[in-house]
Amino acid sequence: MLRLDASQADFPPAFTALVNARREADSDVSRDVAAIIARVRAEGDAAVADLTQRFDKHDLLWSIPLDECRAALDGLPADLRAALNLAAVRIRAYHEKQKPEDSDSVDATGTRIGARWRGVDAAGIYVPGGRAAYPSSVLMNLIPAKVAGVERLVMVTPTPDGEANPLVLAAAALAGADAVLRIGGAQAVAALAYGTQSIRPVDVITGPGNAWVAEAKRQVYGVVGIDMVAGPSEIVVVADGANDPDWIAADLLSQAEHDPTSQSILFTDDAAFADKVAAAVERALTTLSTEATARTSWQDNGAIILVPTLDAALPLVDRLAPEHLELAVADPEPLFAKVRHAGSIFLGRHTPEAVGDYVGGPNHVLPTGRARAFPPACRCWIS
C-alpha cells in the first residue's frame, strides 16, 4: 500500500504516477476478444456454445425460463425479498426523475420545433457471474431501461458449471427481464451485438464485467450503443481525524474486495488518523471471506495520502476522477461545492459508499479509469 505526503518534494511525480497507473488488462485481452468476436460473427451459436463449454463448463440450454426466475423470487426469504423490493423502489424513483421531457414549441419565426424521447427497441444487460453474483447490478441496469421504455430487455449472465444464482434470477423477475440467457464473457457481448441463429441482436449493451467484457463492449461500439467501458472499481475517501478508523477502513475495502485491480485511496489531514486507518484495514482484511482479493487490491493499488488541509485534497481528487467519492466530514457542503470530477459522491460521516451500491437510488454503474470527460462533472450524490 502506497503512503504519500503532499508536503514532500517528491510528491508531485509520485502522485502523477498514481494517477497514470494503468490497472486494466494488457494488449493480449484486446487480441483475444477480437478473435472471439470474429468467431461469433462467423459461426454464431456454434461459437457461443463452444466458448461457454470452455469457460463456464456447461452445455445447458442458454435460455432460463422466466417461470424459473419468478419461482426464485417467490422462494426468497422474506428479508431478502424486502431488501430487493426496497432497492427496486428507490432505483425506479430516482431514474423516473432523470427521464428527459418531450418539447414542442413555435419560435419567433413561426417554425414549430421540438424533441420526442423514446426508449430503444432492445437492450442487452450484462450481469457478472464469475467472482461473485450481483443482483444489485440486475436492478441497476434493468430498471432504468424499463423506465426509459425499452421494449425488449435481454439479460446475459455467466453461470459457471451451469449454476445460476437464485438472487440474480429473482432480481431479473422483479425488474422485468424479457429473456435471461446463461452465457457470459466476450462471446455474450458479441452475440448481443451481432446476433446469432437463436439470439436476436440488440441496440444497446449495458452493464459491468471483467476486462474481456469491457474490451468486447469497446470493440462492438458503433455496431451497438454502450453505456461505457467500465474498468476496475474505485473509491476515494476524504476524511478528517474525527472519523472512526474502523468505519473508514470498511469503506475502503468495500471496493477492494471486488477485484484485485480495484483501487481504494484515503486523503486525510491527520497523520495519526492515517496510521489508525492503515491498522484498521489490516485488522478488517482478516475478517473478510474475500481477503485474498481485497488484500491484493489494497497492497497493489491502495494509497493513503496526507494533505495539509482537506481543501488541498480536492484538486487531487479531480485528477483521479474517482468512480466513488466519500466526503467524510461534519460539514461536507464546502468540499462538495469544489468537486468537479467524480461519479457518485457520498456526503457526511454516516453515508457509506455501500449505500449507493444497493439502495441509495442513483445508479452504481459509473465511469472509471479517470474518465473525466464522461461525465465532465459529478453525476449524483447521496447524503
Residues designated as active site: 323-324
All three cell numbers of 264, joined, read: 481504494
355, three cell numbers: 449505500
Helix (H, G, I), strand (E, B) or coil at 327: strand
Q: How many residues does the chain have?
A: 383
Q: Roughly how many angstroms between the first and final C-alpha of the chain, as a whole number? A: 29
At residue 105, φ and ψ (nearest 5 deg) are -150, 165
- Contact in structure between 370 and 236 (CB atoms under 8 Å): no
Instruction: At 238, give phi and psi (nearest 5°).
Output: -105, 115
Measuring CA to CA, how many Å separate 25 from each of 211, 261, 265, 307, 380?
6, 9, 21, 31, 28
Write the DSSP symbol of residue 224: B
Find where cell 429473482 sits.
170
- Grid look-up 496510521 returns 275
CB neighbours (10 Å) of residue 290?
A: 16
Contact by Cβ (8 Å): 298, 253: yes
CA dist., res. 263 & res. 257, Å (int):
10
